[in-house]
Chains A and B, each alone.
Chain A
Amino acid sequence: MNGEANTIRGDAAAPAPITSDLRLSVNKDVHPITVDTRETLLDTLRERLDLTGSKKGCDHGQCGACTVLVDGRRVKSCLTLTVTVDDREITTIEGLAGGDSPHPLQEAFIEYDAFQCGYCTPGQLCSAVGMLAEAQDGWPSAVSEGDGPVVLDEEEIRERMSGNLCRCGAYPNIVEAIRRVAP
């Protein structure tokens, strides 16, 4: 997996980029923007809109550091082409807090020391927000048994958060922080 294929190169021999004019709704702000069709939502957020909270880890949908919410559902912004989401509402880590008040999950991550280097944390938080909404909607996971309401114990949280890696290994505290916020 070298990084070269990810780079949009501007050499003269390369075919001309194809662009699209669109309006992107991020954290309730609408941004008129011209994007290369190859641009991922992650790159648009970070490089064009200066929303650098979402992180690029693997850039292959495997680590979860780029997780954002699209219409309230968690997705990987590194696998989302920006041109595909101009009619969606995007929420990033910068949009989770209400004014000066951190989101309850953000407070819990601080209280339970749920990170070390912090690189995966924005993705963990956006993923946890989406995961709690899925559980609220009664969505099962691979470890759920029966048809009853979802009970977010440690096993459920670990399974439902498996799309977010933490190379510092802060998992025990991440699970604990989420458990404290889960109903």
Chain B
Amino acid sequence: MRPFGYQRAASTRAAVEAVGAGDGAVFLGGGTNLVDLMRLGVATPHTLVDVTRIAPATIEETAGGGLLVGGGVRNGELAAHPLVRRRYPVLSQAVLAGASGQIRNMATVGGNLLQRTRCSYFQDVTKPCNKRQPGSGCPAREGDHRNLAIIGHSESCVATQPSDMAVALAALGATVHVEGPGGPRAVPMPGLHRLPGDQPQRDTVLGPGDLITAVELPPLPLAARSRYRKVRDRASFSFAVVSVAAALEVAGGVVRDCRIALGAVAHVPWRAETAEAALRGAEATEAEFTRAAELELAGARPLPGNAYKVPLARNLLVRVLTDLAEAP
């Protein structure tokens, strides 16, 4: 590991200024991904600016009935919060589906959103990777892509965004509050993460010095009936192969409203707006859920080794919606 400086920012403004200069300083939250990437030689910052003492670590109710989650809240605390569990069960479930107890105690909300892909080529500095080294190529298209993207990928990158939490936040339409060199701003979810295009080195729309200070959950009564379901290679402590975050409101056998996002299928948490539009006003039946899922996935462009993810995503989505419709 290359030597690096360490400083503890005294304020949000000081942290933003320290990293915003763009000379190789980066924010340090829980470090569960960054420290590992530094050890692997993938990340080589010259200074770590520790924001865990200044990033807000509280969860507060907003005037409109939503929640404001500080960027420094640890993942374990977020998942256990009574109001998160009651109003947004999909978010609590998504966080609990990720990582392990130890890692959830370390990882922050802001850091979770900014974790890098687990594509094996990205993490192996002996291999080309357009995300790690722009222009070097992408061996995944011809190589191991069993668990990579099926939607929205580009010639230059087929990586997936690995966060479970982000999938729930995309479904809920959360707002990410950012403090940057130009002042504060709000970034909607989905919208924080970006498709790879020809700049796969950019995971998100954030620039140097942009610090996530909070995530705001909107008032959303239908989210009380929501859930997260994750398919993975083993039952626990494993990244998703496909995941679904969904909220569903049914009245008189008809879908009044819904929110749906898919995880582990794209470079972003994939908000399923096509399926949502197809379902609003439709009968809450397995046949309609299947029709909506197939419409959403009509745009999928799987690679030879991950075509299985398309029917898997369809079936998982149908199952989650059916369970939500049948739940008491």
Q: Which residues of A contact B (CB under 8 A)?
A: 1, 5-6, 8, 14-18, 20, 36-38, 40, 59-61, 64, 67, 73-76, 79-81, 83-84, 127, 130-131, 134, 137-142, 144, 147, 158-164
Contacts and interface: CB of A to CB of B under 8 A. Distances in A.
A161 to B, nearest CB: 8
Contact of B101 (A36, A83, A130, A138): A130
Contact of B105 (A37, A74, A83): A74
Contact of A81 (B6, B76, B85, B86): B6
Contact of A64 (B36, B97, B102): B102
A161 B100 CA distance: 8
B32 A79 contact: yes
B39 interface: yes
B298 interface: no
Interface of B: 1-6, 28, 31-32, 35-36, 39-41, 48, 50, 52, 76, 79-80, 82, 85-86, 92-93, 96-97, 99-103, 105-106, 235-237
A162 B237 contact: yes
A54 to B, nearest CB: 12
Contact of A139 (B48, B50, B79): B79
A140 B3 contact: no
A80 B237 CA distance: 19
B6 A83 contact: yes
**Secondary structure at chain B's binding surface: helix, strand, loop or mixed?**
mixed
B4 A37 contact: yes
15 contacts: A1-B40, A5-B1, A6-B39, A37-B5, A59-B39, A74-B101, A74-B102, A75-B106, A76-B103, A79-B36, A80-B35, A139-B79, A139-B80, A162-B235, A163-B100
Given A15-B2, A142-B96, A147-B85, A84 B102 contact: no
B80 A140 contact: yes
Contact of B103 (A18, A137, A140, A163): A163
Contacts of B103: 61, 76, 79, 163
Contacts of B36: 60-61, 79
Contacts of A1: 40
A166 B316 CA distance: 31
B35 A75 contact: no
Contacts of A16: 3
B106 A80 contact: yes
B106 A158 contact: no
Contacts of A73: 76, 105
Given A5-B40, A139-B80, A81 B102 contact: no
Contacts of B52: 84
Nearest to A163: B100
Interface centre among B3, B86, B92 (most CB of A within 10 A): B3
Contact of B236 (A8, A76, A162): A162
Contacts of B4: 18, 37-38
A153 to B, nearest CB: 15
A79 B35 contact: yes
Contact of A18 (B3, B39, B85, B237): B3
A147 B86 CA distance: 9
Contacts of B106: 75-76, 79-80
Nearest to B79: A140
A151 B155 CA distance: 49
Q: Which 5 A-B pairs have the closest CB atoms?
A: A163-B100, A162-B236, A139-B80, A162-B237, A142-B96
A142 B97 contact: yes
A137 B6 contact: no
A29 to B, nearest CB: 23
Contacts of A6: 1, 39
Contacts of A127: 101-102
A97 B235 CA distance: 33
B33 to A, nearest CB: 9
Contact of A61 (B32, B82, B235, B236): B32
A123 B183 CA distance: 44
A141 B75 CA distance: 12
A130 B5 CA distance: 31
Contacts of B40: 1, 5
A75 B105 CA distance: 6
Q: Which of A67, A80, A139 counts the most chain B CB atoms within 10 A?
A: A139
A15 B1 CA distance: 10
B3 A38 contact: yes
Nearest to B82: A147
B197 to A, nearest CB: 30
Nearest to A14: B3
Contacts of A130: 101-102, 105
Contact of B41 (A5, A36, A74, A162): A5
